[in-house]
Structure 1
């Protein structure tokens, strides 16, 4: 009952109880032509497995081909919001999740599509939490381009995500040389996140509540630097 009342009193970005003005017909067809970079509807139909008669029906009825848009989203990672509504000037990377069908020669071995598909998966974020000083896996979810932009992760190398006080901290585990910032580190294998800084004396210090503490490199291991934070409000 509580959830029902909360939902009833919440305004969502897109109303749940009414049909949004999805693009359809010629608008969607032209968007797909541009997105796939094909010359005409014949080529587009060949790519998508759709007949010219189907395109004509979409145009006549101003139809939104929801199943196709979902299929394109799942196959390529292009955001559903873009496919349904479009955004002028937005560039999409169709080949982001594609796997080449051509054989490659690596270290004298032939690597075919079967080998690449065996290890292929959509990009995902593995989320951990620090519980009683231990780093424990919480969940894993796939993240599309829109989310990565929202989190400020486009162009940022982050391969570890830690949930702390309701916020998501994105960490680059390759940055293990301390300069200045927030870091994931462990003292005698007890994990924590804190502000570390190297001072002119050449030593690394932990700054906490206005005090500083010299870090012992013999007992402390740096596991990465926080490169972006997604705050929950």
Structure 2
């Protein structure tokens, strides 16, 4: 087989591009609707987003169920007018409020936009986006940040910190997510605080989603 007959490599959609494209193709407004339609937990979609992953198994299931071309599912829906640029699917930004935007612009600030979730029953529920004063995030990479609301408090999570050392972390234990204080201890073990007690476990027993970078008392929306 000649060089010209080689199967070309493809830039398959991953992470946010993948889930946003699925929402657009399937007419879903958020991850909850996408989860209900596909049977994939919202926490799994969130993990794909954070880890920049894709699911070829889900691509095939969607193709077989809805007869959507695999090219549109795996590479992104192409704009019909012939423009070859991948269609950028915008989030359903219900968190944008005109008054807040005008207020921010009046102070010559462009708000930082972070994906936002609420922690309910051990799962992340999509809250769309949250606007922040950009000065609050100067020391961080915005692409690695997410917002988690838990018990009426907002936490900015740095998903680049997925090794437990010491601090408050968003962790996954047997498919359920929670925010816990963690301290690494000898023997590749970690101590996890639960209410007024501490549990020592192997670091292999949990998955660290990210570390709390800061707790937010006041946000733009």
Q: Specify the TM-score bucket, using the shorter chain as the normaliser.
A: 0.3 to 0.5
Q: TM-score, normalised by structure 2?
A: 0.46
Higher-Rg member (1/2) = 1
RCO higher in structure (CA 8 A, sep ≥6): 2
TM-score scaled to structure 1, two decimals?
A: 0.44
